[in-house]
Structure 1
Amino acid sequence: MKQVAAAVIVSEGKILAAKRKKERLGGGFWEFPGGKVELGETAKEACKREVKEELGDECQVYGRLPVKRTYQTPYGELTIDFFWTKLLTKNLHLVAASEYRWLKPTELAEVKWLEASKDALELIKQTDLEKVISNGK
């Protein structure tokens, strides 16, 4: 089973969405920046590292979203931890993504998300994003 960490990056009441490059698995779908948890690494550490690798940015990682974690995908079973995150820098390099968008919770349905993101999206729609970061959840 593959273990993944994903950054639900919050800024000014919006969430950062990343469109996967066409040549990657799941290419063309939208997701939260993140990737595989490496051996000896916690999911929270992986989230921070992946933001640095994929975006070129430093971040603060807060609490895990209380959503479903295990998914069956066309590529195998996946365990994913979604973390509330705030960028400390804003380089937003396009490494694993072809495009980024800052979306309000009401705009999340405007793009086609990977299936594993759907439970996190539902929770985000019900959350006061400003309080998440200010409370350091």
Structure 2
Amino acid sequence: MTVRITVVGAALFDEGRLLAARRSAPPELAGRWELPGGKVEEGEAPEEALVRELREELGVHARAVGRVPGEWPLREPYVLRVWTAALEPGSPAPEPLQDHDELRWLGPEEVWDVDWLDQDVPAVRQALGHRPA
């Protein structure tokens, strides 16, 4: 039995806009867009991993708001699970600190203007249906 490793993705919303992050590495993913996040470490709750990853990758203080239903397979043994997230009051603006070279806030009419990673497309669709009011 293969142990699955959870990768958390953040559908980070602010003023109705979704944050997209452009990968800078590895070469096969560079230039494509994703929901920011990363692997859940052993003994870490997914929501804690989400908050940690957003702090490490973007330099922000955020909180997990709610789990987006579903999960999306990545390369074995990884699986993507997504949470909606929000910036904490007083958080610095996001910056691409690790793994990304550009960030973009996308309004509802712009969400599909970027070249999302294949596995992020269904996750983004599902997350948009769970956008916080």
Q: Give the alignment's TM-score, normalised by structure 2.
A: 0.85
Runs of 4+ in 1 over 2 A off after TM superposition: 22-25, 123-127
Give the Å deviation of 1:121. Answer: 1.9
Aligned-partner Cα distance in 2 for 1:123–1:105: 14
Residues 105 and 124, structure 1, Cα contact 8 Å, conserved in 2: no
Q: Confirm or deny that 1:50 pairs with 2:48.
A: no
Q: CA RMSD in A?
A: 1.8
Unmatched segments (≥5 aa) in structure 2: none
What is the one-letter code of the residue matched to 2:40? V
2:31 is paired with a residue whose SS is: coil
Q: Which has the higher helix share?
A: 1
Give the Å deviation of 1:107. Answer: 1.3
* Structure 2 equivalent of residue 81 of structure 1: 81
Residues 22 and 100, structure 2, Cα contact 8 Å, conserved in 1: yes
User: What does 1:1-137 correspond to in 2, within 5 Å?
Assistant: 1-23=4-26, 26-67=29-70, 69-73=71-75, 76-88=76-88, 89-95=91-97, 96-127=99-130, 129-131=131-133
Aligned residues: 127
Distance change >3 Å, CA 116–CA 77, structure 1 → 2: farther
1:28 is paired with a residue whose SS is: coil
Unmatched segments (≥5 aa) in structure 1: 132-137
Distance change >3 Å, CA 44–CA 24, structure 1 → 2: farther
Percentage identity across aligned positions?
A: 32
Q: Give the alignment's TM-score, normalised by structure 1.
A: 0.82
